[in-house]
A and B are shown apart, each in its own frame.
Chain A
Amino acid sequence: MTKRMFNKTSKCRFCRMGVGEVDYKDTQNLPKLTTSQGKLFSRKRSGNCARHQRSVKVSIKRARFMALLPYVA
C-alpha cells in the first residue's frame, strides 16, 4: 500500500553525469575508481550502479591492457 519513493539523486556518479558507457581512455577519472594498489573498488565503495560498475570493470581492464593503468601498483 505504501507509495514507492523514486530517488532522483542517484548515488552513481555516472548516472548523475548522464554517461552511457565509461570510457577506457579517461585517464583522469578512472584511477579514482581503484585503490592505491590498483584494485577495483567494490560497488559499495564506489557507489556505482550495477550497469556502470560493469562498464567500469571493462574500462579499467582495457586501460590496464594499454598500460594506462597499472595491474599492480
Chain B
Amino acid sequence: MYEGLFLLDNAHASMEWDNVVKHIHDILQKNGAEILKTEKWGEKKLAYKIKGHKRGTYLLIHFHAKNSAITTIKRDLQLSDYVIRSLIVKDDKIEELSQAVPAEGTAEKTVGAVPATAEKDLVKESDVSLKTADTV
C-alpha cells in the first residue's frame, strides 16, 4: 500500500489532464502496480520555484505495488516530462479503500480547492526515509 503525490507541470495538466493521468497510471501499471484511488488535488502555488515553475497541479494516487517496483517507478517518473516532483510513501490505512474502488482505478474526483484534511483523514504512515533522488 503506497501513497504517491505527484507534482505535475501545469502547461500539460491544464491542456491534457486525462492524458497526463493516463501517462502516470501507465508508469505505475507497467511496474505491476494496482491503482486503488486517484484524486486530483488541484492547482496550487508552490512554496518555492522548482525548475522555473511557480505553480503546479497535484495528483494523489493510492496504489498497491511490490516493494521492488518502487525504485523503477521513481526512475520512470524522473524521466517523465509531465512530473516535476514526486513523493511515494508507505500507507497502512488504504486497505479499506481497495474494496470500494473499481480495479481500473478510474474513480476520478476533481477537487476545486485543496481539501482541508480532516483529522479523521490523517493517514498512518510507516517510516519511510526522506531520501529521494530528486534535486532542488
A residues in contact (CB < 8 Å) with B: 17-29, 58, 61-62, 64-72
Contacts and interface: CB of A to CB of B under 8 A. Distances in A.
B5 A20 contact: no
A27 to B, nearest CB: 6
Contact of A17 (B87, B119, B127): B119
B96 to A, nearest CB: 15
Most A C-beta atoms less than 10 A away, residue of B119, B121, B132: B119
Contacts of A71: 47-48
Nearest to B117: A26
Nearest to B85: A66
Contacts of B124: 20-21
A26 B121 CA distance: 9
B116 A28 contact: yes
Contacts of B107: none
B123 A21 contact: yes
Interface of B: 5, 7, 44, 46-48, 50, 56, 58, 60, 85, 87, 89, 114, 116-117, 119, 121-125, 127, 130, 132, 134
Nearest to A63: B47
30 contacts: A17-B119, A18-B119, A19-B119, A19-B122, A20-B122, A21-B124, A22-B122, A23-B121, A23-B122, A23-B125, A24-B89, A25-B60, A26-B117, A28-B116, A29-B117, A58-B130, A62-B89, A65-B85, A65-B132, A66-B58, A67-B7, A67-B85, A68-B44, A68-B47, A69-B47, A70-B47, A70-B48, A71-B47, A71-B48, A72-B48
